[in-house]
Amino acid sequence: MSLRTYAILGTGALGGFYGARLQKAGLNVHFLLRSDYEHVSKHGLVVESVDGDFTLRQVNAYCDVEKMPRCDVVVVALKTTQNHVLPKLLPPIVKDDGVVLVLQNGLGVEAEVAQIVGNDKVIGGLCFLCSNKVGSGHICHLDYGQITLGEYAADYYAAGITERMRQIGEDFESAGILIELTEDLLLGRWKKLVWNIPYNGLSVILNATTAELMANVHTCKLVEQLMYEVLTGAKNSGRIIPDSFIQTMLDYTVKMKPYRTSMKIDYDERRPLEVEAIFGNPLRMAQAVGVDLPQISCLYRQLRFLDDKQKGG
């Protein structure tokens, strides 16, 4: 049994799911909550899952980070739209030899966290998870769950496989979560954007499911062109993704069940969109080396308009 302690910042669809699984596997987990704090303190967490339902009647719930113990692994499971609170949340709870595991979407999020806790204290995690919060402390896990872990190093230098990655990976595997280790976090992040940029963006802008986007010849082509732009962005930050990866992603999406993307769910539920992490940061990373990604830029500006309008409304 691992002695590592875990803090979960953001006990929602993602943090609630992984945190509950870790606790169920016997790990020592501490949950930070906001609106659900009262409910979860009293009633614990309920997870309905394709892997089997379970309830944790008692969890370590906190509404104030100052009351939490310092932990070995601090899991950032907030939406990136909340990242302005991290400078306040992280310093009090990361052990001196601890690490922050960033389970967020998009690009450049580890660098933001590293500015707060130091370059040597950050691991990134790419989650392939389909999960919703359906009520207070009530999570519905629909599909997938795999995490790809990668060490962060300054300027996203490929840091290889480290011992602490393996250990954290083993903790998650003990909780039944599939884990993959990557030697190059930035490559993993760009690869995930190959899917996330076209489908998240177009699903919101065109009010469409992945199936509808793939059934129309014009959006199918646009998805492909956007994927090529992501490969161009990756290449210009020194990461080669083969062209064949695009066809793999297209085929994979055609075979999927009709899927409402995470950004579409956020939009439909009138939550802020992760436009900067998923679109703005890749654009700026490309721009910094003089590369223009015009179609991604078009989606970025359209999404900012929709997001601003929703916030203003």
**Is 192 in the active site?**
yes
Exposure on the CB side of residue 57, measured as CA atoms within 13 A:
0
Nearer to a copy of itself, 287 or 295 (CB): 295
144 part of the interface to a copy of itself, by CB under 8 A: no
Shortest Cβ distance from residue 197 to a copy of itself (Å)?
12
Q: Which residues within the stretch 217-236 sit at the binding site for a copy of itself (CB under 8 A)?
A: 218-219, 221-222, 225
Interacting span for a copy of itself (CB under 8 A) from 39-47, 165-173, 264-272, 302-310: 302-310
**Which distant-in-sequence residues (6+ apart) come within 8 Å of 101 by Cβ?**
73, 74, 75, 76, 123, 124, 125, 149, 168
Q: Which is nearer to a copy of itself, 47 or 202 (CB)?
A: 202
Q: Check residue 167 for interaction with a copy of itself (CB under 8 A).
A: no
181 binds a copy of itself (CB under 8 A): no
Stretch that binds a copy of itself, among 35-43, 123-131, 149-157, 199-207 (CB under 8 A): 199-207
Pair type for strands 54-56 and 45-49 = antiparallel
Bridge-based pairing state of the strands 122-135 and 179-182: unpaired
Distance CA 246, CA 158 (A): 23
Closest approach of a copy of itself to the CB of residue 262, in Å: 21
Closest separation in Å from C-beta 274 to a copy of itself: 16
Least distance between a copy of itself and beta carbon 311 (Å): 11
Given 146, 216, 247, 248, the residue binding a copy of itself (CB under 8 A): 216
Q: Does 283 bind a copy of itself (CB under 8 A)?
A: no
Q: Which of 79, 121, 191, 192 is catalytic?
A: 192
C-alpha 307/C-alpha 309 separation (Å) is 5
The CB-of-277 to a copy of itself minimum distance in angstroms stands at 16
Report how far residue 281's alpha carbon sits from residue 303's, in angstroms, rounded to the nearest whole number.
Answer: 14
Please tell me whether residue 41 binds a copy of itself under the rule CB under 8 A: no
Exposed (0-12), middle (13-18) or buried (19+): which is 292, by Cβ within 10 Å?
exposed
Structure tokens at 285: 């990373």
Q: Residue 257 carries which DSSP code? A: P
Residue 306 is a binding residue for a copy of itself (CB under 8 A): yes
Q: Which residue's CB is nearer to a copy of itself, number 199 or number 300?
A: 300
Residue type, 78: L
- Name every residue whose Cβ is closer than 8 Å to that of residue 49 and which is 6 or more positions away in sequence: 17, 139, 140, 141
Residue with tokens 């080396």: 289
For position 291 contacting a copy of itself by CB under 8 A, the verdict is no
Does the protein bind a copy of itself through residue 309 (CB under 8 A)?
yes
Give first-to-last CA distance, the chain, whole Å. 50
Residue with smaller CB distance to a copy of itself, 148 or 209 = 209
CA distance 282 to 203: 19
Q: Tell me, by CB under 8 A, how many residues bind a copy of itself.
A: 25
Between 52 and 313, whose beta carbon lies closer to a copy of itself? 313
Return d(Cα 197, Cα 211) in angstroms, integer. Answer: 16
Is residue 84 a contact point for a copy of itself (CB under 8 A)? no
If phi > 0 it is left, if psi is from -120 to 50 it is alpha, else beta; for residue 8 that is beta
Residue 299 near a copy of itself by CB under 8 A: yes
**Under the rule (CB under 8 A), what is the footprint of a copy of itself?**
202, 205-206, 208, 212-213, 216, 218-219, 221-222, 225, 294-295, 297-302, 304-306, 308-309
Active site residues: 192
